[in-house]
């Protein structure tokens, strides 16, 4: 089989002109790194992000995390409500981009937008493609119990997350990893991998590798409804769910008729008797029978209260063995 062709930036003395598209915190971190790394190889000339949203108690309109970074650095910023318009396309092309760099922008980009840059549209995807395509790759890796994950720099095509891969970097998933902690690690890994790929593109060393369609898996957006714990499930899977849904939407159950958020837990293996959802022990920590094995609760939160040790919560409620959750 022939070696795949290397991409060229079409030797140009100017730095690669990047229009950056992103919205949440993970994308803001990558943008900060791109801005800090700008120089003879590349420069961020503009930013596209979601429109300002009402936030906090006053419901004052505030920019997205990416919008705030762009504002801080004085970058021209587009915040279109619609991206399938001639007006937006004209604004985009006016920046004369060599590359679109997209990180968690939150919208499907039409072909007219993907065709706007001179070289290509690039995406930083938070998984080792072709595994975990879609909207929730970080949660997907945790829910699946994957031993490792990583980032993939890829060319964007019309079909979601299916474009050829340009660079991959991996990391080991720690046994206590949460969505939040893993997202921070992947934001940094993604920024480093992106900058490395831009260097390789500038030097004509970047190679496109097609994805293996036989290995594709998909993820879908996480909803709050999915955060309710089913105690008939496997304790290992419930523990993964707790970590995957921290800090949002947070795994939850019912106790004494009220929501109880579960922030941290660990699997208690071994032979345990009882009905799933029943409190089978209070010491040294409250333990709940599951469909398979049991789950020891470590940190919980009642509505309107602070997070606290699970043992303190149940002692404060004078809970007894046999009490039911869910």
Residue 126 has pLDDT above 60, yes or no: yes
Distance (Å) of CA 77 to CA 52, 241, 309? 12, 37, 44
CATH superfamily of 224-316: Formyl transferase, C-terminal domain (3.10.25.10)
Q: Which of 6-20, 70-84, 280-294 has the lowest mean pLDDT?
A: 6-20
The residue with greater pLDDT, 12 or 50, is 50
The rounded radius of gyration (Å) of the Cα atoms in the chain is 23
Domain with CATH 3.40.50.170 in the chain: 6-219
Residue 8 has a pLDDT of 56
Q: Would you call 207 helix, strand, or coil by DSSP?
A: strand
What mean pLDDT is predicted for residues 131-139?
97
Closest CA relative to residue 103, chosen from 154, 39, 41: 154
Report the 10 Å Cβ neighbour count for 317: 14
Confidence of residue 55 (pLDDT cuts 50, 70, 90): confident
Q: Which of 75-84, 104-113, 180-189, 268-277 has the lowest mean pLDDT?
A: 268-277
pLDDT tens digit string along 243-285?
999 999 999 999 999 999 999 999 997 777 889 999 999 999 9
Q: Which CATH entry fits the domain spanning 6-219: 3.40.50.620, 3.40.50.970, 3.40.1190.20, 3.40.50.170?
A: 3.40.50.170
pLDDT tens digit string along 136-155?
999 999 999 999 999 999 99
Residue 12 has a pLDDT of 63
Confidence of residue 10 (pLDDT cuts 50, 70, 90): low
Residue 222 has pLDDT above 90, yes or no: yes
Residue 2 has a pLDDT of 44
Residue 224 has pLDDT above 50, yes or no: yes
Distance, CA of 64 to CA of 5 (rounded, Å):
38
Using CB atoms within 10 Å of the CB of residue 199, give its burial: 0 to 12 exposed, 13 to 18 middle, 19+ buried: middle
Confidence of residue 57 (pLDDT cuts 50, 70, 90): confident
Report the 10 Å Cβ neighbour count for 314: 20
Domain with CATH 3.10.25.10 in the chain: 224-316
Residue 1 has a pLDDT of 38
Residue with tokens 């030097």: 203
Q: Would you call 213 helix, strand, or coil by DSSP?
A: helix
pLDDT tens digit string along 67-93?
999 999 999 999 999 999 999 999 999
The mean pLDDT of the chain is: 94
Residue 166 has pLDDT above 90, yes or no: yes
């Amino acid at each position: 089989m022939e070696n795949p062709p290397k991409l060229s930036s079409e030797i140009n003395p100017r730095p690669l002109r990047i229009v950056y598209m992103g919205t949440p915190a993970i994308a803001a971190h990558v943008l900060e790194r791109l801005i800090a790394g700008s120089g003879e190889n590349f420069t961020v000339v503009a930013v596209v992000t979601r429109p300002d949203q009402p936030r906090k108690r006053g419901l004052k309109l505030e920019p997205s995390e990416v919008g705030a970074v762009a504002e801080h650095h004085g970058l021209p910023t587009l915040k279109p409500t619609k991206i399938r318009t001639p007006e937006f396309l004209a604004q985009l092309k006016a920046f004369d981009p060599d590359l679109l760099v997209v990180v968690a922008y939150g919208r499907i980009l039409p072909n007219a937008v993907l065709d706007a840059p001179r070289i290509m549209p690039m995406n930083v995807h938070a998984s080792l493609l072709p595994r975990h395509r879609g909207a929730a790759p970080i949660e997907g890796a945790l829910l699946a119990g994957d031993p490792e994950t990583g980032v993939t720099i890829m060319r964007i095509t019309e079909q979601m997350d299916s474009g050829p891969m340009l660079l991959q970097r991996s990391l080991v998933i720690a046994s206590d990893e949460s969505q939040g902690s893993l997202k921070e690690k992947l934001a940094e890994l993604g920024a480093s991998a992106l900058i490395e790929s831009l260097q390789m593109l500038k030097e004509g060393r970047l190679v496109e590798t097609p994805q293996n369609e036989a290995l594709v898996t998909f993820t879908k957006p996480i909803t709050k409804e999915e955060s309710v714990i089913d105690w008939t499930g496997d304790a290992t899977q419930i523990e993964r769910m707790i970590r995957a849904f921290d800090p949002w939407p947070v795994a939850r159950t019912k106790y004494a008729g009220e929501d109880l958020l579960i922030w941290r837990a660990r699997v208690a293996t071994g032979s345990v008797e009882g009905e799933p959802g029943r409190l089978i022990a209070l010491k040294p920590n409250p333990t709940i029978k599951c469909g398979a094995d049991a789950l020891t609760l470590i940190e919980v939160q009642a509505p309107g209260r602070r997070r606290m040790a699970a043992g303190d919560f149940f002692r404060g409620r004078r809970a007894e063995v046999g009490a039911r959750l869910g």
